[in-house]
Amino acid sequence: MAKHYVYRIDYDTGFAPNTEYNICTLSGCKVSTVEKWAKKGSWVIGIGGKNTGKPDKLIYAMEVEENLSYSKFKERFPEKSKYLPPEKAGSNVLVSRKFYYFGNNAIDLPEDLKHIIWDRQGVKCISDEDINKLKNFLSKIGYKQYGVYGKPNNIEL
């Protein structure tokens, strides 16, 4: 059974996560342990930190479809991997086509999911029940399809 993870995003620049080419990738973020631990079926959720301009809001959620080594990612996704130079990459890259990215349109979580908000550095595991509640909540408020619903809050210049 896959474990699910939530962490706090310091900055939402479009780098980690990256949602270009209709896939969501995560690599080289400060919470690099999630890149090693997550496997197919894991959900990874990013909650906004104060520097994102969207504190305690849902920035993104992705269901991991693949956890690839950096070299395998470059080989399989040569076009997509151009954004990720070796000096910024982690050892692994999480890849998904099943994701919700809200960025500057980050959303508040309902009361029954507020307990998943992570308010410090590091990663917290959450339950299958929490993931089901999140998916149901997103569908209920109109997000019936995966995809990009916003732009990064802290675009790098």
Regarding beta strands 24-26 and 92-96, do their DSSP bridges make them parallel or antiparallel, or are they unpaired?
antiparallel
pLDDT in tens, the chain (157 residues): 789 999 999 999 999 999 998 899 999 876 568 888 999 999 999 999 999 999 999 999 999 999 999 999 999 999 988 888 888 888 899 999 999 999 999 999 999 999 999 888 889 999 999 999 999 999 999 999 999 999 999 876 4
> What tokens were used for 105?
């349109």
CATH topology of domain 4-148: ph1033 like fold (3.10.590)
- Listed by start position, the domains of the chain span 4-148
Q: Are 81 and 74 in contact, with CB atoms under 8 Å apart? A: yes
What is d(CA 61, CA 24) in angstroms, rounded to the nearest whole number?
9
* Global pTM exceeds 0.75: yes
Widest CA span in the chain: 43
3-state helix, strand and coil shares in percent for the chain, rounded to the nearest 5 = 30, 25, 45
